[in-house]
Structure 1
């Protein structure tokens, strides 16, 4: 029997090994129980893969990104098998892994109930204990159709084989190249228990699924299209250990407590009235104070950095977006046109950049004016599908803190460097400190401009990002159609990552709008345009901060920074005088003169997460002092009024949390 040579890749090392013909990846990694699949020549393979001469092989650990996806996809198969054992009439849709979990779609007569999910989960536990093997086999189209004749959705997927990947998980089932079916084989009897169309890979055995839980069910259109049948989707999660599953479930409990929609109602900050429509929020007075404080500080910092404020209308003729290219590339994200003048379509604007170009082009520009930094709190409208609208974080109408910088090519590198530093420092001022950067590059199917221009813009962005000393993660194909992008990704207090600021270099829109400036030698030159949204949108950033702080906003952003709590009615005038002095110093201080007992007042304002309670009784009035009760329940008594006011002012000005 001849031997084959393989290379085991364990970054940064590579080890050449000679193995017997017929050796599998499982045998190659038999000493490492964390390995559940292999990457061979860059492609993921089952551990049952038979090694070939010259293969470069890398083990895929269960806790790696690919390993977690394989674990979760395998668990999705177990769930689908369990559903069909409990509900034999169920027809199979698709079941891809997703962030932190998986789902599978089913065509059933009626929606699943919570009791149904419990029954399916119990059946899954039985399947896992049986130790079924996942066994891959290649089939022809005709063989697959014959074997899956009772599965109409699988038959449709067979017809998609070789087509471009979709965003609905169908490529997990078919993809390009060979068509494969995975059999679930009973490890003891060799009996075929279940099978599914899938390109894999999978775990070797169901016994390698250590911890899982079914989370919820929802309705979902087949392959994401409203034109298709409505199916029932079951979501679940799976982890490499019971401890990690428990940690994730605890995290979800904490995340639910921090849900900005829940906090928005509890703290009377905002609402999304049905009479206005999904994704269109109104801010209540308390939320309006937070929003104004956010905007005022941002406005101050932008003015200090040399930005000039502009304002543009909410609607425009469609010809503007034809000129910018948005109607070619972005029409699906725009509201339908309005016929305001005969034969002229008007659109609600989905972005501000075309209008800023018109401001630049309103008169002749000189190199002496560059960089020209235009800034706008500009409200835009995007038609998001109802299924993706989510409170303030995915809205249909929102206000961008939108800036467009026009500069020379020579100024571009320094401007990007300064801009990224400005963005990160301003985010830190709002209390976010844990960042990494993402570089989104050209989508080969969706871009305008030359490859040379894209390459230059991408490399300039890359160099600016690397100067920050933060991790830089590639996002191939994630750029907008007009230029590459740097995204600032920030982690919140419980470790979730949010996309914050975006910075995009654009050589193309200045070309489309024929923007020019007069160079020192008198020639007309084309400026470089840099797109930048620091918050992304004010609404979304509001939601991120609300969840980051769990509603307990730092005093400088809190709607009420301190509330006076009188022990008795006789103490109200003294507190009102204190509040008046505080307001004169720019503080937001109220006095609770209601008829409620003192302890109830304290509980009420604790629920509203007020940073300071200023409590006054007879001794304080006699001594000219107050008592502070802090948000954590601690208290400091007998503080002279002047010192108390100075402490409030100091905490607000330093923008610290208490």
Structure 2
């Protein structure tokens, strides 16, 4: 979830014919060891090459450092090979699956007789350390043909399956499309082959270029991601270009674990996932319900101010609606199975947009009504695979803050600018303010619908809006949906993780499929332009993201309990209760802790519940008509008159400040 890293610009190096890239890099005086070492190069065609590659003619190459995005992928992919070698050294019966680099690390899948245990992982990591220290070299070798590959890989059934596929696979392994099928062998210092793996590469020059790694965990995984295939054991690891970088990453993981919204949600009694209801289906408890209500209410208020019109739609619909929209063929695998009712098939809706189009089409529309902004907090249902369901951030029942905006073609550009500013401002109101944008466009694939002219116009409008925002814009060529380009707002949280938030998406498909029209000023009938816009994505996911962003210490305006009165002795409780009653009269969520716990225990409980205002009162406060504040940051403010105390709390809560109250 980290933000994208840019590939550093390094001056090209000319590799003369018959000379290896390693020799050219050394002659150019570039680093050949350490956290900035050059580990691969990019040739003139854009292909990454090993350093022992020697071009047949002079060629200019781009040096790639180990700490660059491409360099990190090579490092982690090489570490995955070392992991696989270590596993087969210790568990000779293990059969190899795939072992790609992933964000911040790598994994490798194995077929073994029983799951790996923690002590197995310790032994594997120790064996990896031995392999790394031995300085084995990675060498690329090309198979002459498929039969030669099959003969060598006869004992590796999963690799044989990949050889048979002879095409693009979701793995780290093949280069069949270009006419080559390659393997990487590992050799020791005496030139003896130690191990090998079907792979297209490239790799580090040797295992000594893996300075810092750690095995993280193991888990079950289906071969090639399909539940119809055998279940394998996946080992995850992480690798970094220095020990300091590994240490920093592990510290980051510790902090992320403390912020895990699933744990905080349980500790603060916000939500749960009862087994009786089903996986990925959350229930919100009273305190979580308060936070959710505040999130939604503020969003409703801001949408109303900007001219949105609220609509509602049912949770199920006949099959034909999703055939008309075109969703059923594309999304059937992630939709819940149909229900047979009165001779028709009904589906739980996985998205709201088709129903909004029916609302638009329910009567004639004039250009004077446009832009028409429809908005709904609509609950939808998606059959996410059990392996990807994760707390509130990946659920099967989710409430989307869906908007569909219908405009004239001429209005589209200005509307996109308006939408982008609106979502950025609103996300900032919730405390997220560190953004970058991703622009997803079409490529040459035949899957995209709509004319090239419409695509060009919409893409240009999105790009103009993104550029004018002043935010970093990351291109995503080919990442658009089949029906139009989009901008995705990526927000960094308090510890630097990136989360996809709002999307603004142009759609050329739905107006045509649903026959949407409006009467233009000249009396002709025209198709409206359609923009899909989600602000939170889903309430559930946004709730989870904010919980982790604030580590459960929500701003006062979102906190389920905003004020807790803590009497020094039991007889001080009535005084605090009268103060709390005044706050409640001003709309503040306040209560008095009248439990039998001692005062210090009550303070610790309030701190654990992350309540913004703790208000204490003793004999002196009762006599003087004052209270004392204790804040979440540990600061205190004593002897505050009741009128001033009420004003202080009310003003702070209503300010919607996203920092905590303090005596400072």
Alignment of 1:52-91 (within 5 A): 52-53=56-57, 55-91=59-95
How far the C-alpha of 1:177 sits from its partner, in A, is: 2.9
Contact 1:160–1:174 under 8 Å retained in 2: no
Partner of 1:144: 149
| Structure 1 CA distance for aligned equivalents of residues 426 and 319 of structure 2 | 35
Contact 2:17–2:59 under 8 Å retained in 1: no
1:262 aligns with 2:263: yes
1:384 aligns with 2:372: no
How far the C-alpha of 1:56 sits from its partner, in A, is: 3.4
Partner of 2:278: 277
Contact 2:493–2:549 under 8 Å retained in 1: yes
1:21 aligns with 2:17: yes
Contact 2:10–2:63 under 8 Å retained in 1: no
Q: Flag structure 1 segments of 5+ consecutive residues without an equivalent.
A: 1-9
Q: CA-to-partner distance for each residue in 1:425-475, whole Å, 9 max, x for gaps? A: 000010011100001122625333233322222221111111101011111
1:111 counterpart (108, 112, 115): 115
3-state DSSP of counterpart to 1:415? helix
| Structure 2 CA distance for aligned equivalents of residues 536 and 376 of structure 1 | 12
How far the C-alpha of 1:13 sits from its partner, in A, is: 8.0
Contact 1:170–1:223 under 8 Å retained in 2: no
3-state DSSP of counterpart to 2:469? coil
Q: 1:315 to 1:561 in 2, by over 3 A?
A: same
1:159 aligns with 2:137: no
| Structure 2 CA distance for aligned equivalents of residues 83 and 469 of structure 1 | 49
| Structure 1 CA distance for aligned equivalents of residues 202 and 415 of structure 2 | 46
Contact 1:174–1:199 under 8 Å retained in 2: no
| Structure 2 CA distance for aligned equivalents of residues 185 and 12 of structure 1 | 33
Contact 1:457–1:506 under 8 Å retained in 2: no
Q: CA-to-partner distance for each residue in 1:608-644, whole Å, 9 max, x for gaps? A: 1101100011111111110000001221100111111
Partner of 1:492: 493
| Structure 2 CA distance for aligned equivalents of residues 174 and 74 of structure 1 | 21
3-state DSSP of counterpart to 2:165? coil
Contact 1:165–1:175 under 8 Å retained in 2: no
3-state DSSP of counterpart to 2:577? helix
Contact 1:329–1:481 under 8 Å retained in 2: no
Contact 2:16–2:55 under 8 Å retained in 1: no
Q: 1:63 to 1:417 in 2, by over 3 A?
A: same
Q: CA-to-partner distance for each residue in 1:317-348, whole Å, 9 max, x for gaps? A: 11111111101222122111111121x11111
How far the C-alpha of 1:517 sits from its partner, in A, is: 0.9
Partner of 2:438: 438
Contact 1:377–1:401 under 8 Å retained in 2: yes
| Structure 1 CA distance for aligned equivalents of residues 639 and 288 of structure 2 | 33
Partner of 2:4: none
Contact 1:500–1:534 under 8 Å retained in 2: yes
Partner of 2:451: 450
Contact 1:403–1:531 under 8 Å retained in 2: yes
1:48 aligns with 2:49: no
| Structure 1 CA distance for aligned equivalents of residues 560 and 177 of structure 2 | 53
3-state DSSP of counterpart to 1:515? coil
How far the C-alpha of 1:88 sits from its partner, in A, is: 1.1
How far the C-alpha of 1:584 sits from its partner, in A, is: 1.1
| Structure 2 CA distance for aligned equivalents of residues 196 and 273 of structure 1 | 44
Partner of 2:34: none
Q: 1:597 to 1:25 in 2, by over 3 A?
A: same
Contact 2:79–2:210 under 8 Å retained in 1: yes
Partner of 2:206: 205
Q: CA-to-partner distance for each residue in 1:17-68, whole Å, 9 max, x for gaps? A: 4x54311111121222221001112001101111243533111111111100
| Structure 2 CA distance for aligned equivalents of residues 374 and 577 of structure 1 | 45
| Structure 1 CA distance for aligned equivalents of residues 512 and 582 of structure 2 | 57
Q: CA-to-partner distance for each residue in 1:72-122, whole Å, 9 max, x for gaps? A: 000000011011111111111110001100000111111111000000111
Task: Return 370-379 or 26-35, whichever deviates more.
Answer: 26-35
Partner of 2:576: 575
Partner of 1:6: none
Partner of 1:354: 354
Across the aligned residues of Structure 1 and Structure 2, the Cα RMSD in angstroms comes to: 1.5
| Structure 1 CA distance for aligned equivalents of residues 452 and 527 of structure 2 | 18
| Structure 2 CA distance for aligned equivalents of residues 302 and 15 of structure 1 | 52
3-state DSSP of counterpart to 2:98? coil
Q: Flag structure 2 segments of 5+ consecutive residues without an equivalent.
A: 1-6, 32-36
How far the C-alpha of 1:367 sits from its partner, in A, is: 1.0
| Structure 2 CA distance for aligned equivalents of residues 11 and 245 of structure 1 | 21
Partner of 2:426: 426
| Structure 2 CA distance for aligned equivalents of residues 500 and 595 of structure 1 | 44
Contact 2:16–2:58 under 8 Å retained in 1: no
Partner of 2:551: 550
Alignment of 1:628-639 (within 5 A): 628-639=629-640
Q: 1:274 to 1:173 in 2, by over 3 A?
A: farther
3-state DSSP of counterpart to 1:330? helix
| Structure 1 CA distance for aligned equivalents of residues 252 and 446 of structure 2 | 38
Q: 1:629 to 1:304 in 2, by over 3 A?
A: same
3-state DSSP of counterpart to 2:411? helix
1:92 aligns with 2:92: no
How far the C-alpha of 1:297 sits from its partner, in A, is: 0.5
| Structure 2 CA distance for aligned equivalents of residues 291 and 175 of structure 1 | 50
Partner of 1:501: 502
Q: 1:15 to 1:553 in 2, by over 3 A?
A: closer
1:36 aligns with 2:39: yes
Partner of 1:530: 531
TM-score (normalised: structure 2): 0.95
Q: CA-to-partner distance for each residue in 1:575-607, whole Å, 9 max, x for gaps? A: 111111111111111111111111111111111
Q: 1:374 to 1:534 in 2, by over 3 A?
A: same
Contact 2:448–2:481 under 8 Å retained in 1: yes
Contact 1:174–1:197 under 8 Å retained in 2: no
Contact 1:174–1:198 under 8 Å retained in 2: no
Partner of 1:363: 363
Partner of 2:395: 395
Contact 1:157–1:173 under 8 Å retained in 2: no
3-state DSSP of counterpart to 2:447? coil
Where has structure 1 moved over 3 Å in runs of 4 or more? 10-17, 170-176
Q: CA-to-partner distance for each residue in 1:536-571, whole Å, 9 max, x for gaps? A: 000000000000000000000000011000111111
Contact 1:505–1:531 under 8 Å retained in 2: yes
| Structure 2 CA distance for aligned equivalents of residues 158 and 521 of structure 1 | 62
Q: 1:217 to 1:174 in 2, by over 3 A?
A: farther
How far the C-alpha of 1:164 sits from its partner, in A, is: 2.6
